[in-house]
Structure 1
Amino acid sequence: MNSTTIGKYRWRIVALLFFATTINYIDRQVLSFTVINEDFQREILGLAKNHVITAADDAQLKVLLGYVDAAFKIAYALGFLLVGWFIDRVGTRKGFSVSMIVWSVAGMVHGLVSRAAGLVGARFMLGLGEAGNFPAAVKTIAEWFPRKERSFATGIMNAGANVGVIATALAVPFIIAHLGWRASFVITGALGLVLLVCWRLWYNRPRLVKNLSAEELAYIESDPDGKEDDKPARVSWLKLFRYPQTWAFALPKFLTDCVWYFFLTWLPLFFAKNNTLDEKLDLKSVGIPFLVIYIISDLGSIFFGWLTSTFMKKGWSANKARKTTLFICGLCALPIFFAAQTNSLYVAIALIALGTAAHQGFSSNILAMVSDIFPKKATGSVTGIGGMMGGVSGALVSVYVGHIDGYMPIFIYASTAYLLALLVIHLCVPKMQQAAL
């Protein structure tokens, strides 16, 4: 069946997932930019309003940010495991709705805190809620797309992460300048509640959507395992740990997610405080570099998703197509380490942009890989397990970066993580066969 001759309703679902991912990332990224604001720094460190920030204060803030971010990542890890399991049982529509409510309320609570302890609590709650996005999105794409289109659809959905970072970098400095740092959390947190209304109005499983044509439904269900079950499936996630396919996804998430989380959390401080660079950025000037970095990341997410789908449409096996694309992503990540050595701000921006594009391409493909190696009934749970592993590694790296002088070790690791992760995938699933649950 030719995809160009049928309906396009499934792409509306991808657009909804794209905006969900965008808002998810806006809410988590507000802190990374707000932390540059000196009024916020004084408030969280318990300093007087007229106190001049010193190098010792910067060091204390860096350690504190490491622990605060670790609280988010630990909750994110736990949330991934629990929410993936929850979504597979109650269904995507209800499970994702609960997640949106929790992360939106948590985002707004950030604007009420006045000390580090309150920030840790709000961050933990945000992590629990935000963990639902990717298990729900991956499961939705598995429900709405045949296998040959899932990489491209996942790439589009995953591109919302970069748009979220860009929107935050441009909007948060403006909000802080006019309304103060507390308003930045309240306004952005409320976006999730708008998203909730749209999700409840527009999303359902394909067979329950009246406006979906019979031709498009047949195309969606054209894979051998394409027809959806009438009831949400019940798969024990504990049993999933027995399968090498689970580790083919979970271990690469552990190896690579921490790199992405490092960029999301620490890049504003890297550009503002790193003594290696010949030019430093502040809250007013940081927006344009982030615009460049995450537009290129977006292109990487979509391009590498499209590349795998193109290979598969040419007749390549999922194994060959996906691993070839992952290898290209790994090669693109190799030069990242030089960003911590160069004196040129522009060279650092270019290298980090290439690295984040490689990560997003890699991430899109291993997310789509879940539906290659598992039936639909387990995709939420498996994605949750992988997200948990990524959250754990992200928490460890945040604490580590908070205590080290400089950033070189983590940049060196980022250069090699993706090729190492590809090796793990190949060892676990040499032929990328589907698990027989």
Structure 2
Amino acid sequence: MSIAQKPAGKVRWGIGLLLGAGTVVNYLDRVNISVAGEHMAKQYGWSHTELGMLFSAFFWSYTLAQIPVGAILDKTGVKWVNRVGTLLWSIATLLTALLGGFAGIFIMRMILGIAEAPAFPANSKATGYWFPLAERGLATSLFDGAAKFSNVIGVGVSTWAILNWGWQGAFIVTGLINLVFAIAFWIFYREPWEHEKLSSEEREYIEKNGAQVQGQASGAFLDNLLVLFKNRKVWGLTIGFMCYGYSFYLFLTWLPNYMTQQLHVSMVKGGWYTIIPWVVATITDILIGGWAVDYFISKGKDPNKVRKTILILGMLFGAFILLEPTTSNPTLQVTYLSIALGGLAFSAPVGWSIPALIAPKGMVGSVGAIMNFFNNLMGVLAPIITGVLIDRTGSFNTGFVIAGVLILFGILSYVFILGDIVPIEE
């Protein structure tokens, strides 16, 4: 398909940056507890197993909400779903600081999971609406890279807040930041067909070059869901992405504790060590998973081959996590973690772009929700399994081995089950 000359308008990139900013504040709510967890555990006398359960509480409700959220998005669109979600997750974060004890915090984390459930499927759907195929890689990497960048600033912000006001400070500061974004999203986000500042020239460019058009799935929700669950491509994508997700959520929830407990460094130094892999991940996500994908496609390379190559290569680098248990040298440990997380990071935008590339008309949200449902099951399992293993072995090593083996299974799924990244036949 030929690509029309790019118009002068840049409204779509403003929307892309808004989605990215939303992901940054969204992930602050996941980073804050990973930094505060050690301090909370000391205050309340929790074991690593209990702390792992608390880390996973968010993902219990977040995961269960994915399928219905996908259906709601396909019926109502992005604007109102995310407006309600941003307001609710801001309130839930702030209330966490006011509650004490395992049960109260656990409940608030579950409410937070429900509120944030639409975020990534909505971003995927909004990107499909707002960006032509040739810009989809970079557009997707803006919100996916923001998830990694949030860890860079989130670790620092949460550490600073905890040092000044205790663990409650991490939730108060991040909750207020989220509330500011909720107001901004309410004011600035519109769907393409209702955006007053989107010129007819830019809209034509978006629509004629592969953006998803406004529309709903033609059948009943359960019938459509059954069709998707029977589809090989959907399962190939889902299995591969959930294998990526296990490692990602292990890093997201346990990395600050790993740095202080296994490397035996202070909270501040451990914070700096934690930031390094996430900086690498942010850079590779945007430059390789985003810009490089669009660049090679714009130069006439086969889009399927470009996306599959980046997808598999990133997972192969992710398998470097298997080397983590082979050394006790802090420099090598941080290096292996940075390579693994950097690789996983640049595979992720490709994964997130696939629902909009393969889904039948009106089912992008549902495909993304299925993928994210099983991906976030790993968010439930990885923190708990890792916590149990730490209590039983006194080490993170077995947890890293499990993550590495799953990455290898994910590669096999992408290669042999997903197949070519082309639309599902209707």
TM-score by length of 1: 0.90
Aligned to 2:357: 372
Q: In the alignment, residue 182 of structure 1 is paired with which amino acid?
A: Q
Q: In the alignment, residue 387 of structure 1 is paired with which amino acid?
A: N
The question of 1:292 aligning with 2:276 is answered yes
The question of 1:16 aligning with 2:18 is answered yes
Query: How far does the alpha carbon of each residue in 1:322-353 deviate from its partner, in whole angstroms, 9 at most, with x for none?
Result: 11111221221232222233222121112111
Q: Distance in 2 between matches of 1:266 and 1:247?
A: 28
Extract unaligned runs of 5+ from structure 2.
Answer: none
- Which of the residues 375, 382, 386 maps onto 1:397? 382
- Which of the residues 194, 213, 217 maps onto 2:199? 213
Q: CA deviation at 1:233?
A: 7.4
Give SS of 1:123's match.
helix
Contact 1:87 / 1:380 at 8 angstroms: preserved in 2?
Answer: yes
Q: Distance in 2 between matches of 1:259 and 1:91?
A: 31
Query: How far does the alpha carbon of each residue in 1:124-163 deviate from its partner, in whole angstroms, 9 at most, with x for none?
Result: 1111122211001000000000112111111121111122
Identify if the C-alpha distance between structure 1 residues 69 and 177 changes in structure 2 by more than 3 Å, giving closer, same or farther: closer
Identify if the C-alpha distance between structure 1 residues 398 and 84 changes in structure 2 by more than 3 Å, giving closer, same or farther: same
Contact 2:311 / 2:350 at 8 angstroms: preserved in 1?
Answer: yes
Q: Distance in 1 between matches of 2:315 and 2:246?
A: 15
The question of 1:242 aligning with 2:244 is answered no
Aligned to 1:197: 183
Q: Distance in 2 between matches of 1:282 and 1:117?
A: 29
Q: In the alignment, residue 352 of structure 1 is paired with which amino acid?
A: L
Identify if the C-alpha distance between structure 1 residues 306 and 321 changes in structure 2 by more than 3 Å, giving closer, same or farther: same
Identify if the C-alpha distance between structure 1 residues 97 and 417 changes in structure 2 by more than 3 Å, giving closer, same or farther: same
- Length, aligned pairs only: 416
Identify if the C-alpha distance between structure 1 residues 68 and 329 changes in structure 2 by more than 3 Å, giving closer, same or farther: same
Aligned to 1:113: 99
Aligned to 2:28: 26
- Which of the residues 332, 337, 360 maps onto 2:345? 360
Query: How far does the alpha carbon of each residue in 1:198-238 deviate from its partner, in whole angstroms, 9 at most, with x for none?
Result: 11211111121121122211111023674333x78776234
Identify if the C-alpha distance between structure 1 residues 18 and 352 changes in structure 2 by more than 3 Å, giving closer, same or farther: same
Contact 1:147 / 1:371 at 8 angstroms: preserved in 2?
Answer: no
Give the root-mean-square deviation of aligned CA atoms.
2.0
Q: In the alignment, residue 349 of structure 1 is paired with which amino acid?
A: V
Give SS of 1:113's match.
coil
After TM superposition, the structure 1 = structure 2 runs for residues 376-391 of structure 1, keeping only pairs within 5 Å, are 377-391=362-376
Q: CA deviation at 1:2?
A: 4.9
The question of 1:417 aligning with 2:403 is answered no
- Which of the residues 62, 77, 87 maps onto 2:48? 62
Extract unaligned runs of 5+ from structure 1.
Answer: 46-59
Q: CA deviation at 1:44?
A: 2.7
Q: In the alignment, residue 240 of structure 1 is paired with which amino acid?
A: L
Q: Distance in 1 between matches of 2:219 and 2:255?
A: 41
Query: How far does the alpha carbon of each residue in 1:65-108 deviate from its partner, in whole angstroms, 9 at most, with x for none?
Result: 11112322211211222222222222100011122122212211
Give SS of 1:36's match.
helix
Q: In the alignment, residue 386 of structure 1 is paired with which amino acid?
A: M
Give SS of 1:35's match.
helix
Identify if the C-alpha distance between structure 1 residues 350 and 214 changes in structure 2 by more than 3 Å, giving closer, same or farther: same
Query: How far does the alpha carbon of each residue in 1:331-388 deviate from its partner, in whole angstroms, 9 at most, with x for none?
Result: 2123222223322212111211111111111111111011111145211111111111
Q: In the alignment, residue 397 of structure 2 is paired with which amino acid?
A: M
Aligned to 1:141: 127
Q: Which moved more, 1:156-165 or 1:237-246?
A: 237-246
Contact 1:337 / 1:411 at 8 angstroms: preserved in 2?
Answer: yes
Q: CA deviation at 1:434?
A: 1.0
Contact 2:33 / 2:55 at 8 angstroms: preserved in 1?
Answer: no
Q: Distance in 2 between matches of 1:376 and 1:85?
A: 13
Contact 2:237 / 2:418 at 8 angstroms: preserved in 1?
Answer: no
The question of 1:43 aligning with 2:28 is answered no
The question of 1:130 aligning with 2:116 is answered yes
Q: CA deviation at 1:417?
A: 3.5
Identify if the C-alpha distance between structure 1 residues 42 and 422 changes in structure 2 by more than 3 Å, giving closer, same or farther: closer
Identical pairs, percent:
25
Q: Distance in 2 between matches of 1:368 and 1:338?
A: 30
Aligned to 1:177: 163
The question of 1:433 aligning with 2:422 is answered yes
Aligned to 1:307: 292
TM-score by length of 2: 0.92
Q: CA deviation at 1:21?
A: 0.4
Aligned to 2:152: 166
Aligned to 1:50: none
Q: Distance in 2 between matches of 1:344 and 1:235?
A: 56
